Structures are given as C-alpha cells and as structure tokens.
Copies of this chain bind each other. A is one copy, B any other.
Amino acid sequence: MMNTLLLNLNEVQSLLTIEDTVEAVKAGYMAFNRGVVQMPPVVSLMAHKFNGEMDFKMGYSEQEDIIGIKMAGGYWDNPKKYNLPSGLAMICLFDAANGVPICILDGTLITGYRTAAAGTIGALCLARKDAENIAMIGTGMQARLQVMALSKYFNIKNVRVYGIEGQEKYVEEMQSQHPDIHFSATSAQEAVENAEIVITATASHNALVYDQWVKPGTHINAIGCDMEGKQELDPSIFMRAKIVNDSRMECKKRGDTQHPFKAGHITDDNIHAEIGEILLGQKCGRENENEITIFDATGLSVQDINTSLFVYRKAIKNNVGKNIEVFDVNI
C-alpha cells in the first residue's frame, strides 16, 4: 500500500495514445462541470534571475477520488545552458482517501497530449464536421501534436502553417509523418483565410490572427495563451464569435478571453459555455455552418489528473514502471 509507482517519459509514451487522452480529458471536462473537481488557482514561483519559473497546478477529482499536482518548470534558457528541455514537468497522484502518493510520473508528454486533446475536443464540439483546411499558427511541439490529434478525428487535407521561425522544418517533418495531408508554409493571413479550423499554439504576447481574415464558419482553438499578458487573437473576433472556455474563471484571467473581457468588449453573458457543459449536453455546440466559434483553453489540472490516472492504471495492468518507497513500510 505504501509503494509509489514511478513512470518515466519512455514508459508514459509506451502506455498513452492520443485517443485515450481525448477520452480522459473529455471525462475530466465533464467532471469539472458536474462540480466534482476542486481546482485552486495555479501557484507560480518566479525565478527571474534564471529567466524561469515553476508552476504548481493542483486539483482534486472527487469523481475519481484522486488528488493530483503538476510541478512544471518553464526555463527558456535550459536548452542552450543545460542541454535540457525548457519545460520539465513532474506529476504526482495521491489517493484522496488517505493521502498516499500512488504515482510519480513524467508530465512532459502528458502535458503535450492533454493539450492536444483539448484542441481536438474543442473542434469536435464546435468545428464544422467537414473541416479539411487547418491554419496552424505556431511551429513548435504543440503545433505538431494538435495536427496529429486532430487528424484522427477529421479528414484533414491541408495544413497551412505560419510561424516566426521553423516553418520549413515544420512542413518537412510533418509532411513525412502525415503523407495524406498537404502541408505548406504561408502567411498567417493566407492560412486563416483558407481554414475551417484555426489553431493558435504560440507564446505570443500580441495578436497574430486578425478579425478581417476570419470567414464565417471558422472554428478557432486558442491554445497558446495561458498567462496574463499573453495573446494570440484580435479581441474583435470575440465580439462576433460563439465563445467557449475550458474554465470561465481561468480564461478571463489568463486565457485569450482576458483581452476582450478586460477591455469591456464582452461580459460574462457573452461567454456561451464551458466546454464540459457542451459535452454534458447542457449547452449546444455549433448550431449552423456560418457561426464563428472560439474554444479558449488555458489547461486545467483535471486534464493532467485524468490523463495521468489512465496511464497509472494501464501501467499497473501491464506491469510497467518501477516501485519506489518514499515512506518506510513500517512507518
């Protein structure tokens, strides 16, 4: 009972698929909107002298009786200074019945997958079913995972990618991994004007997608903006869009929704739903072919908890991982 399962990145990777992540995240969103998830605000400790920060994201799924915490670093100089990734994340799951830490696992891949799953769930709820053109704003890891995930659920034909760097590399690598999709590097405008689904996955602090480019029927997944001051969308888009948040409270504070909200362009009444409300059938998704829809996803602790819990259970079943003893057995 006092053993803790340790799962490293390779082991997590061997156990987790994007389809399973989509199901785990869906269940998490619904649990959140059933009111059986406690999620206090994220705690950030800023290490300015190292150009970094540590973020602690805690939650308690009363549905699963699991408490979880993700301890995630954001250190932008890591690659060049330490040959380490900028985003190291470790997740710990506790049995909510007694406080025993049941699993410590690498959170890097889980963060990537659960964020990609968020975008896919947003598109499944809000995008046109016949969407086949993607505008990808961003060229990083998450810009890759978003397309990978979406391609399992939509018949994607074209991905037009825009980024301030790495466009060619993105096209080359993604083209070889997804031969059925045509990838091309374009301007942001060309990508957005030709898309049914627009995905923003950058660390931008300024709008990258402008209102006049967005045609009727477009769905936008606003993924990158998860902090005060970050921004990817022209706030004007919100004034003619159906707005869906993962969490109203979080999106108004640190999602792209913060900008039109703080400027007074929209109020609570303009936020159509939280995504879990749509999944639960309490609110509608897309209602016609001409709506512009936005899913603003800041990332919720319950996504990490549910995805980690899936990995933990599969690891136990498949006898993967290593047991460690944080406490002594005879404590």
- Interface residues in chain A, defined as those with a beta carbon under 8 Å from any beta carbon in chain B: 1-2, 6, 8-10, 38, 40, 43, 45-47, 49-50, 52, 54, 56, 58-60, 62, 65, 67, 69, 71-75, 78, 81-82, 84-85, 88, 90, 92, 94, 96-101, 104-106, 108, 322, 324-328, 331
Contacts and interface: CB of A to CB of B under 8 A. Distances in A.
A211 B262 CA distance: 52
Given A1-B82, A38-B46, A88-B100, A328 B75 contact: no
A110 B52 CA distance: 28
Q: Count the copies.
A: 2
B71 A101 contact: yes
Given A6-B324, A38-B46, A52-B97, 19 more contacts: A2-B84, A9-B327, A9-B328, A9-B331, A38-B45, A43-B56, A45-B59, A52-B99, A54-B60, A71-B101, A73-B94, A82-B98, A88-B98, A88-B327, A90-B92, A104-B326, A106-B328, A322-B324, A324-B324
A52 B99 CA distance: 8
A73 B54 contact: no
A78 B98 contact: yes
